[in-house]
Amino acid sequence: MPEYLVKESGLKEFFQSLANGRHLLTPQGTGDKCKLEEAGPDKVNLDYSNTHMSPKSAFFPQSENLMAFHNKSDKPNPFVYQDLGDKAQPTVIFGIRPCDARGLSISNRVFQNDRFTDPYWKGKYEQTIKIGLACASPSPQCFCAAMGGSPYGELGLDVLAFKVEGGLGLKPVTAQGEELIKQTNAAQEDLAQEIKKQEAKAIEAQGVGTDLKPIDDKDLMELFQDPHWTATAENCLNCGVCTFFCPTCHCFDIQDEQSEQGGIRMRNWDTCMSWLFTVHGTGHNPRPSKTERVRQRFMHKLKYIPLKQDGIRGCTGCGRCVVMCPVNIDIREVALKMCQPPAQSQA
C-alpha cells in the first residue's frame, strides 16, 4: 500500500476528519500522566514517550460488566441473568506505540481464535481503528526489537503514523486503515525509503538486543525445571504491577456482586502474581510460593505464548514492567537467564 503525508498545516483538519462520526482517543499529558483520552481533535499530543498504562483497557477494561439480573417480580425475567450487550461505538485510537499494538494483536488471538470468541472484546476491537505512532527515540527501558518487534512495527495496527520533516507520514497497514486515510486530507507520497531510514536509526538507538533463540530451542520442561527460578523470584514482592501494566497480560477473574436491586456478573483484571489466582476450592494451591508464580509469568511470556502463537513472543518490549516494578525485576535479565545452559544459570 502506498504511503500518505499530512502537512503540518493540515494536521488539524486531519484529526478533525478522524473524529468525524467516531470517538477519537489520543494520548494526553506527559510522563506518568499520559493516557489515552477523548480530548477532541484540536488537542493532540505528538510528544510523549508512551502512555502510562497500556492501551489494553480500551478493549479489556479493568472491570467490565458482562451480565446482570434484577429482582423485580413485576417486571419481565426477574432473577435471570441477561447479557449486558455490547455498547462498542466506532472509535479511532491515534498514537498507540508499535509495542502496544503488537500486544493488542497477541491478546486479540487469545480473545478471538478458532475455538473461542469473546463478544465483549470483539465488539470493541473490531469497531476501533488503531493508528500507531512510530517511536523515533526509544527510552532506556525499550527493547521491542529484541522481542521481535520494531519501533516501526505494524502488527496489530491499521495505520502506522510517523513523524517526518514538516508533517506526519502515514502508512496504511490494513484495508480498513487505508479506507480511513482516504477520507482525510492526507495525500499520497512515497515515503518507503524514509520509513526504512528512520526505523534503522531507531533500532540502532535501542542497542543490540539479546538473541533469545535459545529459549525457543530449549525444551519446555527444561526451562520449567531450571534451578535459576528460585533466585530469579527471590526479589519479587508478588504485587501485580507488572501484570496490570503489561500490554499482553489478559488474565481475568469473574465475580458476581449483588445488591438490593439485583446482581451483576463482572470480570476484573487478575494477576498470576497473586496467591489467590490459583488457589483451589479445597485450599490446595498448585502455585504455592512466589517462585512458581514468577516462573509462570515469564514462561507464559517467553515460552507458552510463542508456542501457541506461531513464535510471536508474549513480551513486546514496552518496558513498563521494568520501570514500574518496585524491585526492578527486568524481563531482559530473566530472559538471559532462561537462555543460559542449566549449569551456568544456577549461580
Partner 1 sequence: MPALSDINSKIRESARKLLADGRAEVVIGYRQGTVPMTTSPMFARKPAECDQLIWSNFARINLANYLPGRPGKVALVAKGCDARSAVGQVTENQILKDNLYIIGVPCTGMIDTNLVLAKETRPIKELVETTDEAITVKGEGFSTEINKADVLRRNCQTCANRTPKLADELIGPETPGANPDDFADIKALLNKTPDERMAYFKDLIKDCLRCYACRNACPLCYCPICFVDETRPQWLGKSTDPMDTLTFHILRGLHCSGRCTSCGACETACPVNIKVREFNRVTELTVQNNWHYEAGQSWDQKPPLTMFQTDDQADFIK
Partner 2 sequence: MSDFEPKIVAFFCNWCTYGAADLAGVSRLDYPPNFRVVRLPCTGRLNPKFIMEAFKRGADGVWISGCHPGDCHYIAGNYHARRKFVLMHQLLESIGVDPNRLRFSWISSAEANKFQAMARDVVEHVKACGPNTTFRKEDLKLGLAEVA
Q: Which is nearer to partner 1, 20 or 258 (CB)?
A: 258
Q: Tell whether the torsion through CA atoms of 250, 24, 172 and 49 is positive or negative.
A: negative
Q: Which is nearer to partner 1, 195 or 279 (CB)?
A: 279
Q: Which is nearer to partner 1, 159 or 302 (CB)?
A: 302
Q: How far is the CB of 248 from partner 1 (least distance, A)?
A: 17
Alpha-carbon dihedral 146, 147, 149, 155, rounded to 10 degrees:
180
Query: From the list 9, 113, 268, 344, which residue makes contact with partner 1 (rule: CB under 8 A)?
Result: 268
Q: Is 262 in the site for partner 2 (CB under 8 A)?
A: yes
Query: From the list 70, 163, 218, 300, which residue makes contact with partner 2 (rule: CB under 8 A)?
Result: 70
Burial class (CB in 10 A: 0-12, 13-18, 19+), 291: middle
- Among residues 320, 317, 333, the alpha carbon closest in space to that of 155 is found at 317
Using CA atoms, how far apart are residues 106 and 302, in angstroms rounded to an integer? 13
Tell me the sheet residues that pair with 6: 168
Q: Is 298 in the site for partner 1 (CB under 8 A)?
A: no
Q: Is 55 in the site for partner 1 (CB under 8 A)?
A: no
Report the partner that residue 258 touches, choosing among partner 2, partner 1, none (CB closer than 5 to 8 A by kind): partner 2
Q: Is 263 in the site for partner 2 (CB under 8 A)?
A: yes
Residues 6+ apart with CB under 8 A from 295: 224, 229, 232, 233
Q: How far is the CB of 315 from partner 1 (least distance, A)?
A: 15
Q: Is 259 in the site for partner 2 (CB under 8 A)?
A: yes
Cα distances from 195 to residues 80, 117, 229, 325, in angstroms, run 55, 35, 41, 33
Cα distances from 253 to residues 267, 271, 286, in angstroms, run 5, 9, 17
**How far from chain centre, in Å, is Cα 227?**
30
Q: Is 225 in the site for partner 2 (CB under 8 A)?
A: no
Residues binding partner 2 (CB under 8 A): 65, 68-70, 72, 75-77, 82, 84, 257-264
Residues binding partner 1 (CB under 8 A): 30-32, 49, 52, 62-63, 137, 139-141, 231, 234-235, 237-241, 244-245, 253, 255, 257, 266, 268, 270-271, 274-276, 279, 319, 322-324, 326-330, 332-333
